[in-house]
Amino acid sequence: MLVCDDFATRANRFRTLIKSEGLVLRPCAYDALSAIMIEKAGFRVVGTTGYGISASLIGQPDIGLVGYGEMVERVRTIVNAVSVPVDVDADTGYGNAMNVYWTVKNFAGIGASGVRIEDQVWPKRCGHMEGKQIIPTEEMVRKIKAAVKARDEANPFMIIGARTDARSVLGFKAVIERAKAYADAGADYIYVESPESMEEVETLVKEIPVPIAFNIIPGGRTPPFTLKQLEEAGVRYLSVPMVCLYPAVKAMQEALDALKNKDLETMVKLGVSWREFNEIVGLSEWRRLELELLPESELEEKYGTTDIEEIMSKEKSKTEAKWNKVR
């Protein structure tokens, strides 16, 4: 199975990005809309967050309740929504090395530019939670090699990331040993969950022969390092899984509280406008596509005109003008 040229191009852009100097930020999406917002904000890569997908898809914590099939479908919608590379959190690969091979091959097929797997026992849990268990180093090495094999067959540009949760289970020495073994097995970068000091970060960057990655979760186990500290230490890749999810939840709470208190004006001011939201999801582009693909008679029947600007102007005058008084 070979991927299309667009998917290969995106993966190649991601590979170039990972190899470049400086800190690459990986804001994470939990659905297609959050991915669109990340791209519109100007970021060069979109990550996916298993934590956020579990919360948004089934309303449950990240404790291994979302399986392979559900994750593939959610990632497919995210990849289709944006034009930048998408780096996928694929949990443990959903089984043994055979499952990892199948997982990576299929994520490549739907356009993932990168896939990251971790060394937790399945069902896994968020790396910042208690009660984690990890598999033997040798088993994870086999998984990485399976991922590399699948990558080479499907999309040679694709990035393979390896995550270790050994810090909170076996200690820092085990992190170093595993990180080196995972790099030797072919991982393009090593993601270390929850280092406990800047000294540990600097040691990892110095001793591991591939780029080092971490994540930052407000209130999580990773200390509140600054971006400047991480960049100066030589960290190359930083995931920010909650950058969209936590603010969205807070905004929903505030808007719902306003509505419950019958404060419609505050509720309206907390959100974007009808027209702004339609632009975010690309309504004007779909209107233009209608003009290209539908017969003029149908357009006249729908809108009374075939002029796209007139159509959009009508919608604006009939909706936003009224609500601007409230906003």
| Structural domains of the chain in order of their starting residue, each with its CATH number | 5-240 (3.20.20.60), 248-323 (no CATH)
| Cβ atoms of residues 143 and 99 within 8 Å | no
| Cβ atoms of residues 216 and 240 within 8 Å | yes
What is the pTM (predicted TM-score) of this model? 0.92
| Cβ atoms of residues 78 and 48 within 8 Å | yes
Helix axes of 68-81 and 32-40: crossing angle, nearest 10 degrees: 40
Start-to-end CA span in the chain (Å): 52
| Cβ atoms of residues 217 and 236 within 8 Å | no
Provide the CA 80 distance to its chain's centre, in angstroms.
13
d(CA 271, CA 269): 5
Q: Running DSSP on this structure, what letter comes out for residue 129?
A: S
In this structure, what token pair is assigned to residue 276? 């702004």
- pLDDT digit of tens for each residue in the chain (327 aa)? 556 789 999 999 999 999 888 899 999 999 999 999 999 999 999 999 999 999 999 999 999 999 999 999 999 999 999 999 999 999 999 999 999 999 999 999 999 999 999 999 999 988 788 889 999 999 999 999 999 999 999 999 999 999 999 999 999 999 999 999 999 999 999 999 989 999 999 999 999 999 999 998 888 888 889 999 999 999 999 999 999 999 999 999 999 999 999 999 999 999 999 889 999 999 989 988 988 899 988 888 888 887 777 777 776 666 666 656 655
